[in-house]
A = this chain, B = another copy of it.
């Protein structure tokens, strides 16, 4: 494993750098120390100061190498909040993509097994896990989870399933076998039809508390004239369908 990258920040300038790296900037050359410490000040050869900073969760969204549109911090938060992903959880994730969700759940203490069908994307996701400092708690598997279900079902059940793939219904159908009692399923999809299919599959599989949420967010503007919602709102990202493994025997 390579040494951990950090951010060098000065006002609006923000560089992602490796320990020992030499970086040319418009303010002069920065020599990154071998062991940069958060809060440490580093000067360019022209004397301008940058500060070392650790990456936080929302920074992953901006600094991960992208293989598609990464999940926005809001939606990462909704998945974590609604499923309660936390320390000690085992999570099965499908549709790794850029890996922001997997990394964020790992940073919240979960052990994550994530499937990415595209080998190139899977490679990028592994590098992103390194950047996020979670290589030890995220296993990025190359392949389609639906083709690996028997392997997955042979292991211990998961506390949470998070799905962002077109074949999510095939995994949802096995939800009760994949999840611990009371474990949560979260499926993310931009489309009504896909969400509907997930809901119908979840109900048919005997999952409970099945529900689909749409989230509309707007920024609020505060200026001298007054306070109002932004005229440039945040658009639709996806519907989030949640369901839960039933607890104990479901009496007939």
The chain A residues found within 8 Å of chain B, CB to CB, are: 7-11, 14, 38-39, 41, 49-54, 56-60, 73-87, 104, 107-109, 159, 180-184, 190-196, 199-200, 211-220, 222, 225-237, 239, 246-251
Contacts and interface: CB of A to CB of B under 8 A. Distances in A.
B226 A192 contact: yes
A215 B214 contact: no
Contact of A7 (B56, B104, B247): B247
B220 A212 contact: yes
A226 B191 contact: yes
Contacts of A53: 181-182, 247-248
A84 B58 contact: yes
A184 B54 CA distance: 13
Contacts of A86: 56-57, 104, 107-109
Given A54-B182, A78-B74, A226-B193, A87 B84 contact: no
